[in-house]
Chains A and B, each alone.
Chain A
Protein backbone atom coordinates (compact mmCIF):
# COMPACT_ATOMS: atom_id res chain seq x y z
CA UNK A 1 0.00 0.00 0.00
CA UNK A 2 1.37 3.43 -0.95
CA UNK A 3 1.74 6.22 1.60
CA UNK A 4 -1.15 8.09 -0.02
CA UNK A 5 -3.48 5.09 0.13
CA UNK A 6 -2.55 4.47 3.76
CA UNK A 7 -3.12 8.16 4.50
CA UNK A 8 -6.60 8.04 2.98
CA UNK A 9 -7.42 4.75 4.70
CA UNK A 10 -6.52 6.27 8.08
CA UNK A 11 -8.35 9.50 7.31
CA UNK A 12 -11.56 7.66 6.39
CA UNK A 13 -11.27 4.78 8.83
CA UNK A 14 -14.82 3.59 9.54
CA UNK A 15 -15.53 -0.11 9.90
CA UNK A 16 -18.87 -1.81 10.20
CA UNK A 17 -19.44 -3.23 13.67
CA UNK A 18 -17.84 -0.34 15.54
CA UNK A 19 -19.37 -0.53 19.03
CA UNK A 20 -18.92 3.18 19.81
CA UNK A 21 -17.50 5.04 22.78
CA UNK A 22 -20.02 4.20 25.50
CA UNK A 23 -19.81 0.44 24.98
CA UNK A 24 -16.03 0.61 24.99
CA UNK A 25 -15.82 2.65 28.17
CA UNK A 26 -18.08 0.23 29.97
CA UNK A 27 -15.87 -2.81 29.41
CA UNK A 28 -12.49 -1.08 29.10
CA UNK A 29 -11.16 -2.58 32.35
CA UNK A 30 -12.20 -6.09 31.38
CA UNK A 31 -10.76 -5.61 27.90
CA UNK A 32 -7.39 -4.52 29.31
CA UNK A 33 -7.23 -7.38 31.82
CA UNK A 34 -7.85 -9.87 29.03
CA UNK A 35 -4.90 -8.39 27.16
CA UNK A 36 -2.70 -8.61 30.25
CA UNK A 37 -3.72 -12.24 30.67
CA UNK A 38 -2.41 -12.94 27.17
CA UNK A 39 -5.88 -13.43 25.72
CA UNK A 40 -7.34 -11.80 22.64
CA UNK A 41 -10.01 -9.31 23.74
CA UNK A 42 -11.13 -8.88 20.11
CA UNK A 43 -12.64 -12.37 20.28
CA UNK A 44 -14.82 -11.36 23.23
CA UNK A 45 -15.42 -7.72 22.26
CA UNK A 46 -15.01 -7.48 18.47
CA UNK A 47 -16.97 -4.23 18.16
CA UNK A 48 -14.86 -2.53 20.80
CA UNK A 49 -11.64 -3.79 19.21
CA UNK A 50 -12.74 -2.09 15.98
CA UNK A 51 -13.65 1.04 17.91
CA UNK A 52 -10.26 1.32 19.61
CA UNK A 53 -8.58 1.30 16.18
CA UNK A 54 -10.66 4.26 15.02
CA UNK A 55 -11.61 6.52 17.92
CA UNK A 56 -9.12 9.31 18.67
CA UNK A 57 -10.50 9.61 22.22
CA UNK A 58 -10.94 6.00 23.33
CA UNK A 59 -7.64 4.72 21.90
CA UNK A 60 -5.50 6.88 24.23
CA UNK A 61 -7.78 5.93 27.13
CA UNK A 62 -7.20 2.26 26.33
CA UNK A 63 -3.45 2.77 25.97
CA UNK A 64 -3.27 4.68 29.24
CA UNK A 65 -5.21 2.09 31.20
CA UNK A 66 -3.20 -0.76 29.72
CA UNK A 67 0.04 0.99 30.69
CA UNK A 68 -1.16 1.69 34.23
CA UNK A 69 -2.53 -1.81 34.83
CA UNK A 70 0.64 -3.38 33.44
CA UNK A 71 2.85 -1.23 35.66
CA UNK A 72 0.75 -2.18 38.66
CA UNK A 73 1.31 -5.87 37.95
CA UNK A 74 5.01 -5.57 37.23
CA UNK A 75 6.12 -2.87 39.63
CA UNK A 76 3.50 -1.51 42.04
CA UNK A 77 6.18 0.48 43.88
CA UNK A 78 6.37 2.62 40.74
CA UNK A 79 3.19 4.34 41.86
CA UNK A 80 4.75 5.35 45.13
CA UNK A 81 7.50 7.10 43.20
CA UNK A 82 4.98 8.70 40.83
CA UNK A 83 2.84 9.90 43.73
CA UNK A 84 5.94 11.25 45.45
CA UNK A 85 6.66 13.17 42.24
CA UNK A 86 3.24 14.74 42.59
CA UNK A 87 4.02 15.84 46.13
CA UNK A 88 2.19 12.99 47.83
CA UNK A 89 3.58 10.86 50.63
CA UNK A 90 4.40 7.37 49.39
CA UNK A 91 1.24 5.26 49.40
CA UNK A 92 1.05 2.07 51.39
CA UNK A 93 1.18 -0.72 48.88
CA UNK A 94 1.80 -3.72 51.08
CA UNK A 95 -1.49 -5.51 50.54
CA UNK A 96 -1.65 -6.08 46.82
CA UNK A 97 2.06 -5.74 46.17
CA UNK A 98 2.78 -8.73 48.41
CA UNK A 99 0.09 -10.72 46.71
CA UNK A 100 1.36 -9.89 43.25
CA UNK A 101 4.87 -10.98 44.08
CA UNK A 102 3.61 -14.27 45.46
CA UNK A 103 1.17 -14.88 42.63
CA UNK A 104 1.79 -15.86 39.05
CA UNK A 105 0.27 -12.92 37.21
CA UNK A 106 -3.21 -11.83 36.31
CA UNK A 107 -5.95 -13.90 37.83
CA UNK A 108 -7.71 -14.48 34.55
Chain B
Protein backbone atom coordinates (compact mmCIF):
# COMPACT_ATOMS: atom_id res chain seq x y z
CA UNK B 1 0.00 0.00 0.00
CA UNK B 2 1.38 3.41 -0.94
CA UNK B 3 1.60 6.49 1.26
CA UNK B 4 -2.12 6.68 1.89
CA UNK B 5 -2.41 6.34 5.68
CA UNK B 6 -6.15 5.76 5.71
CA UNK B 7 -5.84 2.97 3.15
CA UNK B 8 -3.05 1.36 5.16
CA UNK B 9 -5.18 1.47 8.31
CA UNK B 10 -8.15 -0.09 6.55
CA UNK B 11 -6.04 -2.97 5.28
CA UNK B 12 -4.27 -3.54 8.61
CA UNK B 13 -7.47 -3.56 10.60
CA UNK B 14 -9.29 -5.84 8.17
CA UNK B 15 -6.58 -8.49 8.33
CA UNK B 16 -7.29 -11.56 10.43
CA UNK B 17 -5.81 -11.34 13.90
CA UNK B 18 -6.13 -7.59 14.27
CA UNK B 19 -7.89 -6.69 17.54
CA UNK B 20 -10.22 -4.26 15.75
CA UNK B 21 -10.98 -6.52 12.80
CA UNK B 22 -14.61 -7.19 13.65
CA UNK B 23 -15.31 -3.49 14.07
CA UNK B 24 -13.48 -2.66 10.84
CA UNK B 25 -15.43 -5.28 8.87
CA UNK B 26 -18.72 -3.92 10.18
CA UNK B 27 -17.64 -0.37 9.41
CA UNK B 28 -16.73 -1.34 5.86
CA UNK B 29 -19.94 -3.30 5.42
CA UNK B 30 -21.97 -0.25 6.43
CA UNK B 31 -20.12 1.96 3.93
CA UNK B 32 -20.56 -0.58 1.14
CA UNK B 33 -24.29 -0.78 1.88
CA UNK B 34 -24.45 3.00 1.47
CA UNK B 35 -22.58 2.85 -1.85
CA UNK B 36 -24.81 0.01 -3.08
CA UNK B 37 -27.94 1.94 -2.10
CA UNK B 38 -26.77 5.01 -4.03
CA UNK B 39 -25.72 3.07 -7.10
CA UNK B 40 -28.90 1.00 -7.24
CA UNK B 41 -30.91 4.20 -6.83
CA UNK B 42 -28.99 5.68 -9.78
CA UNK B 43 -29.87 2.63 -11.90
CA UNK B 44 -33.39 2.17 -10.55
CA UNK B 45 -34.92 2.93 -13.94
CA UNK B 46 -33.48 -0.31 -15.30
CA UNK B 47 -35.21 -2.32 -12.58
CA UNK B 48 -38.74 -1.47 -13.70
CA UNK B 49 -41.34 -1.44 -10.98
CA UNK B 50 -39.73 -3.00 -7.95
CA UNK B 51 -41.02 -3.23 -4.38
CA UNK B 52 -39.00 -1.42 -1.72
CA UNK B 53 -38.33 -4.70 0.03
CA UNK B 54 -36.94 -6.30 -3.11
CA UNK B 55 -34.84 -3.19 -3.76
CA UNK B 56 -33.43 -3.39 -0.23
CA UNK B 57 -32.65 -7.06 -0.77
CA UNK B 58 -30.65 -6.13 -3.86
CA UNK B 59 -28.76 -3.50 -1.84
CA UNK B 60 -27.82 -6.06 0.80
CA UNK B 61 -26.87 -8.69 -1.77
CA UNK B 62 -24.66 -6.28 -3.71
CA UNK B 63 -22.95 -4.99 -0.57
CA UNK B 64 -22.50 -8.51 0.79
CA UNK B 65 -21.03 -9.74 -2.47
CA UNK B 66 -18.67 -6.79 -2.59
CA UNK B 67 -17.56 -7.31 1.01
CA UNK B 68 -16.82 -10.96 0.30
CA UNK B 69 -14.72 -9.96 -2.73
CA UNK B 70 -12.84 -7.28 -0.76
CA UNK B 71 -11.94 -9.70 2.02
CA UNK B 72 -10.90 -12.37 -0.47
CA UNK B 73 -8.73 -9.96 -2.47
CA UNK B 74 -7.40 -7.96 0.49
CA UNK B 75 -3.85 -9.27 0.25
CA UNK B 76 -3.79 -8.29 -3.42
CA UNK B 77 -4.49 -4.62 -2.71
CA UNK B 78 -1.34 -2.60 -3.37
CA UNK B 79 -2.85 0.73 -4.37
CA UNK B 80 -2.15 2.95 -6.17
CA UNK B 81 -5.79 3.87 -5.72
CA UNK B 82 -7.30 4.56 -2.33
CA UNK B 83 -8.54 1.50 -0.50
CA UNK B 84 -12.09 2.86 -0.47
CA UNK B 85 -12.14 3.52 -4.24
CA UNK B 86 -10.81 0.02 -4.79
CA UNK B 87 -13.48 -1.45 -2.48
CA UNK B 88 -16.27 0.61 -4.07
CA UNK B 89 -15.31 -0.84 -7.45
CA UNK B 90 -16.53 -4.23 -6.24
CA UNK B 91 -19.88 -2.69 -5.29
CA UNK B 92 -20.29 -1.09 -8.72
CA UNK B 93 -19.52 -4.43 -10.37
CA UNK B 94 -21.99 -6.27 -8.13
CA UNK B 95 -24.70 -3.70 -8.78
CA UNK B 96 -24.20 -3.78 -12.56
CA UNK B 97 -24.37 -7.55 -12.56
CA UNK B 98 -27.43 -7.79 -10.31
CA UNK B 99 -29.34 -5.07 -12.13
CA UNK B 100 -28.74 -6.83 -15.44
CA UNK B 101 -29.82 -10.18 -14.06
CA UNK B 102 -32.93 -8.67 -12.50
CA UNK B 103 -33.86 -6.88 -15.75
CA UNK B 104 -33.18 -9.97 -17.85
CA UNK B 105 -35.33 -12.22 -15.63
CA UNK B 106 -38.11 -9.68 -15.56
CA UNK B 107 -38.11 -8.92 -19.28
CA UNK B 108 -35.58 -10.62 -21.55
CA UNK B 109 -34.94 -8.90 -24.90
CA UNK B 110 -37.76 -9.60 -27.32
CA UNK B 111 -37.23 -11.07 -30.77
CA UNK B 112 -38.11 -7.64 -32.20
CA UNK B 113 -35.20 -6.07 -30.33
CA UNK B 114 -32.71 -8.53 -31.81
CA UNK B 115 -34.02 -8.97 -35.35
CA UNK B 116 -33.12 -6.69 -38.22
CA UNK B 117 -35.81 -5.54 -40.60
CA UNK B 118 -35.34 -1.84 -41.28
CA UNK B 119 -33.96 1.29 -39.66
CA UNK B 120 -35.95 2.29 -36.59
CA UNK B 121 -38.18 5.35 -36.92
CA UNK B 122 -35.75 7.59 -35.02
CA UNK B 123 -33.04 6.88 -37.62
CA UNK B 124 -35.08 6.42 -40.79
CA UNK B 125 -34.75 9.08 -43.53
CA UNK B 126 -37.04 12.04 -42.92
CA UNK B 127 -38.96 14.03 -45.51
CA UNK B 128 -36.97 17.06 -46.51
CA UNK B 129 -33.55 15.57 -45.78
CA UNK B 130 -30.98 16.12 -48.46
CA UNK B 131 -30.49 13.43 -51.06
CA UNK B 132 -26.97 12.73 -49.77
CA UNK B 133 -28.21 12.12 -46.23
CA UNK B 134 -30.96 9.83 -47.46
CA UNK B 135 -28.44 7.89 -49.54
CA UNK B 136 -26.14 7.59 -46.52
CA UNK B 137 -28.92 6.10 -44.42
CA UNK B 138 -29.87 3.73 -47.22
CA UNK B 139 -26.22 2.64 -47.45
CA UNK B 140 -26.19 2.13 -43.66
CA UNK B 141 -29.33 0.05 -43.88
CA UNK B 142 -27.78 -2.14 -46.59
CA UNK B 143 -24.53 -2.48 -44.61
CA UNK B 144 -26.37 -3.60 -41.47
CA UNK B 145 -28.06 -6.30 -43.52
CA UNK B 146 -24.65 -7.54 -44.65
CA UNK B 147 -23.15 -7.90 -41.15
CA UNK B 148 -22.54 -11.40 -39.83
CA UNK B 149 -25.50 -12.77 -37.87
CA UNK B 150 -23.69 -12.35 -34.55
CA UNK B 151 -22.52 -8.79 -35.18
CA UNK B 152 -25.92 -7.75 -36.54
CA UNK B 153 -27.75 -9.15 -33.52
CA UNK B 154 -25.50 -7.27 -31.10
CA UNK B 155 -25.55 -4.02 -33.08
CA UNK B 156 -29.31 -4.05 -33.60
CA UNK B 157 -30.03 -4.82 -29.93
CA UNK B 158 -27.60 -2.38 -28.33
CA UNK B 159 -27.15 0.45 -30.82
CA UNK B 160 -30.59 0.56 -32.40
CA UNK B 161 -32.86 -0.75 -29.64
CA UNK B 162 -31.06 0.31 -26.45
CA UNK B 163 -30.91 -3.18 -24.93
CA UNK B 164 -28.41 -2.86 -22.01
CA UNK B 165 -25.15 -4.60 -22.90
CA UNK B 166 -25.10 -6.75 -19.75
CA UNK B 167 -28.70 -7.88 -20.36
CA UNK B 168 -27.83 -8.86 -23.91
CA UNK B 169 -24.72 -10.69 -22.69
CA UNK B 170 -26.94 -12.76 -20.39
CA UNK B 171 -29.35 -13.44 -23.24
CA UNK B 172 -26.47 -14.63 -25.44
CA UNK B 173 -24.85 -16.60 -22.61
CA UNK B 174 -21.79 -14.42 -23.08
CA UNK B 175 -20.07 -11.63 -21.12
CA UNK B 176 -19.71 -7.89 -21.42
CA UNK B 177 -16.21 -7.93 -22.92
CA UNK B 178 -17.08 -10.36 -25.70
CA UNK B 179 -20.37 -8.61 -26.44
CA UNK B 180 -18.63 -5.24 -26.63
CA UNK B 181 -16.03 -6.70 -28.99
CA UNK B 182 -18.84 -7.78 -31.34
CA UNK B 183 -20.40 -4.31 -31.13
CA UNK B 184 -17.04 -2.64 -31.79
CA UNK B 185 -16.31 -4.88 -34.78
CA UNK B 186 -19.81 -4.28 -36.18
CA UNK B 187 -19.35 -0.52 -35.91
CA UNK B 188 -15.94 -0.69 -37.61
CA UNK B 189 -17.40 -2.79 -40.41
CA UNK B 190 -20.31 -0.39 -40.91
CA UNK B 191 -17.99 2.64 -40.97
CA UNK B 192 -15.77 0.91 -43.48
CA UNK B 193 -18.68 -0.03 -45.75
CA UNK B 194 -20.17 3.44 -45.60
CA UNK B 195 -16.79 4.93 -46.50
CA UNK B 196 -16.39 2.48 -49.39
CA UNK B 197 -19.83 3.54 -50.66
CA UNK B 198 -18.79 7.20 -50.54
CA UNK B 199 -20.69 8.05 -47.35
CA UNK B 200 -17.98 8.19 -44.69
CA UNK B 201 -19.11 9.15 -41.21
CA UNK B 202 -16.93 11.98 -39.94
CA UNK B 203 -16.15 11.84 -36.23
CA UNK B 204 -17.10 14.86 -34.18
CA UNK B 205 -13.48 15.44 -33.15
CA UNK B 206 -12.47 15.62 -36.82
CA UNK B 207 -14.81 18.54 -37.42
CA UNK B 208 -13.84 20.52 -34.31
Contact = CB atoms under 8 A, between A and B. Distances in A.
Interface of A: 1, 4-9, 11-15, 18, 20-22, 25, 28-30, 32-33, 54-58, 60-61, 64-65, 67-69, 71-72, 76, 78-83, 85-93, 95-96, 99-100, 106-108
Interface in B111-158: 123, 129, 133, 136, 140, 158
Given A14-B188, A68-B39, A87 B56 contact: yes
Contacts, number: 174
B184 A14 contact: yes
Tell me if B's interface is mostly helix, strand, loop or mixed.
helix
Nearest to A72: B84
> For this complex, into which size category does the number of interface residues on chain B fall?
35 or more
A32 B85 contact: yes
B38 to A, nearest CB: 5
A30 B123 CA distance: 38
A86 B187 contact: no
Contact of B6 (A32, A33, A89, A100): A100
B60 A86 contact: yes
A89 to B, nearest CB: 7
Contacts of A85: 37
B177 A88 contact: no
Interface of B: 2-7, 9-10, 13, 23-24, 26-31, 33-39, 42-43, 56, 59-60, 80-82, 84-86, 88-89, 91-93, 95-96, 123, 129, 133, 136, 140, 158-160, 164-166, 176-177, 180-181, 184, 187-188, 190-191, 194, 201-204, 207
A91 B34 contact: yes
